[in-house]
């Protein structure tokens, strides 16, 4: 155990990047007060197929592939000595997902994970976050040219957990990165899924679902950097909120540089407020330096439960509680069905039902 020694300025809450985040509830991860362990709590859950390796390596051997402006990420980089490296060799095509499980104790942990998807590889990586715990996490994901990677991060934490993360993907030529961020557990979850492209034909699909109930703070800050020509991005995040002080934040920053001609991007965030007392912030931002693009757009909606849908279903004999469940499952189904993994889809729907059951009590 050691004390954080970085002297980065501690956020006050007035900074743009921190103005939505409840700093008092971060268990000291953002300032110098957190005792952090060197323990790496992320481990492989299933046996690894041929062509895939998972190893703990010296941090110095895996220097960051990008400069992060995220305070937590920089603290992690300065602090940690070891990184967890998951490599998928080139041309490997996996039919079953690689599952990593993070099962935390209550001590704080800083963690840097590197995922390398080789040339023309095809894989799915699932990270399950369960238990209590205080985690600062950086996951750096590199997709070599032609690689296809589905990355699933499940935040199924206990209600005490604090999880601050950056998931940064570097997407190469003709590579396809698909990210699913699912946040239902935790006290405070703040995830920054960020993407940069390094070659034409690169494509990033970012999906997210979150469901905040009483007192939870679930924040997702997306940043997509279109710095090369002819890359494509899609973002679709959906959230539901219920109960006193349930809070969600969605930030969607898309930056199209002057060189990024032929960019095609669209981002969408929809929030469903199920009760009074919940608050959803949704802030899409689009900055465009060139007009020579295929398309760029965003949409953000935050609305209440549609009583007309409820009336329609009830008028067909369906009781109100079942009708509400149908509508909310339907709201998330659009994204969950994109997973194309039946057991995972069922598991997530079951989690949505669990959250709904809390609301109905």
Partner 1 sequence: MSVLEIKNLQVSVVIESGNKEILRGVDLTIKSGETHAIMGPNGSGKSTLAYSIAGHPKYLITGGSVTLDGVDVLEMSVDERAKAGLFLAMQYPVEIPGVSVSNFLRTAVTAIRGEAPKVRTWVGEVKAAMSSLEIDTAFSERNVNEGFSGGEKKRHEILQMELLKPKIAILDETDSGLDIDALRVVSEGVNRIKESTDLGVMLITHYTRILKYIKPDFVHVFANGKIVEEGGSELADKLEEKGYAEYITA
Residues that bind partner 1 (CB under 8 A): 306-309, 311-320, 322-323, 326-327, 329-334
Pick the closer one to partner 1 by CB: 177 or 331: 331
Pick the closer one to partner 1 by CB: 126 or 323: 323
In whole angstroms, the minimum distance from the beta carbon of 342 to partner 1 comes to: 16
Distance CA 164, CA 80 (A): 16
In whole angstroms, the minimum distance from the beta carbon of 332 to partner 1 comes to: 7
Contact 177, 201 (CB under 8 A): no
Pick the closer one to partner 1 by CB: 13 or 303: 303
In whole angstroms, the minimum distance from the beta carbon of 307 to partner 1 comes to: 7
* Closest residue by Cα to residue 197 from 222, 177, 226: 226
Beta strands in 156-231, from DSSP E residues, in sequence order: 162-171, 176-183, 188-197, 203-212, 217-226
Distance CA 271, CA 285 (A): 17
* Closest residue by Cα to residue 191 from 240, 232, 151, 227: 151
Pick the closer one to partner 1 by CB: 48 or 318: 318
Contact 296, 288 (CB under 8 A): yes
Pick the closer one to partner 1 by CB: 276 or 307: 307
Name the DSSP letter for residue 112.
E
Q: Which two tokens stand for residue 156?
A: 């199924």
Pick the closer one to partner 1 by CB: 66 or 311: 311
Q: Which two tokens stand for residue 269?
A: 């965030």
In whole angstroms, the minimum distance from the beta carbon of 236 to partner 1 comes to: 13
In whole angstroms, the minimum distance from the beta carbon of 348 to partner 1 comes to: 13
Full DSSP string of 81-145: SEEEEEEE-TT-B-SS-EEEEEEE-SSEEEEEEEEEEPTT-EEEEEEEEEES-EEEEEEEEEE-T
In whole angstroms, the minimum distance from the beta carbon of 272 to partner 1 comes to: 11
Pick the closer one to partner 1 by CB: 167 or 270: 270
Angle between helix axes 320-336 and 342-360 (nearest 10 degrees) is 140
Provide the CA 245 distance to its chain's centre, in angstroms: 22
In whole angstroms, the minimum distance from the beta carbon of 173 to partner 1 comes to: 35
């Amino acid at each position: 155990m050691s004390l954080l020694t970085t002297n980065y300025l501690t956020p006050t809450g007035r900074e743009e990047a921190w103005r939505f985040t409840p700093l008092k509830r971060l268990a000291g991860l953002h300032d110098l007060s957190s005792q952090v362990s060197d323990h790496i709590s992320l481990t492989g859950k299933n046996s690894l197929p041929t062509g895939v390796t998972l190893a703990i390596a010296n941090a110095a051997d895996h220097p960051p592939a990008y400069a992060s402006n995220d305070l937590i990420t920089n603290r992690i980089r300065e602090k940690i000595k070891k990184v967890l490296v998951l490599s998928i060799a080139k041309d490997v095509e996996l039919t079953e997902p690689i599952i990593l499980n993070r099962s935390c104790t209550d001590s704080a942990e800083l963690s840097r994970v590197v995922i390398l998807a080789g040339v023309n590889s095809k894989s799915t990586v699932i990270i399950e976050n369960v238990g209590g715990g205080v985690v600062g996490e950086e996951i750096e994901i590199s997709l070599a040219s032609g690689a296809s990677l589905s990355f699933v991060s499940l935040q199924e934490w206990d209600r005490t957990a604090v999880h601050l993360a950056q998931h940064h993907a570097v997407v190469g030529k003709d590579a396809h990165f698909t990210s699913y961020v699912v946040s239902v557990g935790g006290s405070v979850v703040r995830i920054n899924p960020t993407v940069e492209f390094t070659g034409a034909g690169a494509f990033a699909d970012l999906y997210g679902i979150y469901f905040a109930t009483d007192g939870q703070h679930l924040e997702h800050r997306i940043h997509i950097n279109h710095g090369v020509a002819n890359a494509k991005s899609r973002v679709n995040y959906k959230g539901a909120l219920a109960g006193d002080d349930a809070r969600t934040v969605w930030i969607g920053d898309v930056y199209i540089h002057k060189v990024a001609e032929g960019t095609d991007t669209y981002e969408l965030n929809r929030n469903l407020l199920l009760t009074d007392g919940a608050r959803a912030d949704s802030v899409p931002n689009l900055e465009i330096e060139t007009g020579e693009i295929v398309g760029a757009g965003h949409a953000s909606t935050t609305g209440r439960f549609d009583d007309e849908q409820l009336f329609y279903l009830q008028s067909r004999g369906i009781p109100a509680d079942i009708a509400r469940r149908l509508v909310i499952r339907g709201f998330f189904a659009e994204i969950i069905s994109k997973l194309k993994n039946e057991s995972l889809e069922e598991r997530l729907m079951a989690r949505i039902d669990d959250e709904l059951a809390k609301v109905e009590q």
